[in-house]
Amino acid sequence: MTSIDRDIKKAIRYQEMYCPNCGKEFKIDLKKRKNKCPKCKFEITVKK
């Protein structure tokens, strides 16, 4: 596997978003159903 393939898979799996509660930008893992904001611990559910 080349580094380009790894980078593409990483870009697809992790998406940047803003917390709706505090406004901090962070990356969420799309393979996990529930993610938490690192600043305020607000739980975000990912629906597929």
The pLDDT assigned to 16 comes to 93
State how beta strands 43-45 and 14-18 pair. Answer: unpaired
Q: Which of 44, 45, 13, 38 is nearest to 24 (CA)?
A: 38
In sequence order, the β-bridge partners of residue 27 are 16
Residue 21 near residue 40, CB atoms below 8 Å: yes
- What are the pLDDT digits (tens) for 8-39? 888 899 999 999 999 999 999 999 999 999 99
Q: What is d(CA 34, CA 3) in angstroms, rounded to the nearest whole number?
A: 28
45 three-class SS: strand
> Does residue 1 carry a pLDDT above 70?
no
Q: Give the pLDDT confidence score for residue 25 in this predicted structure.
A: 96
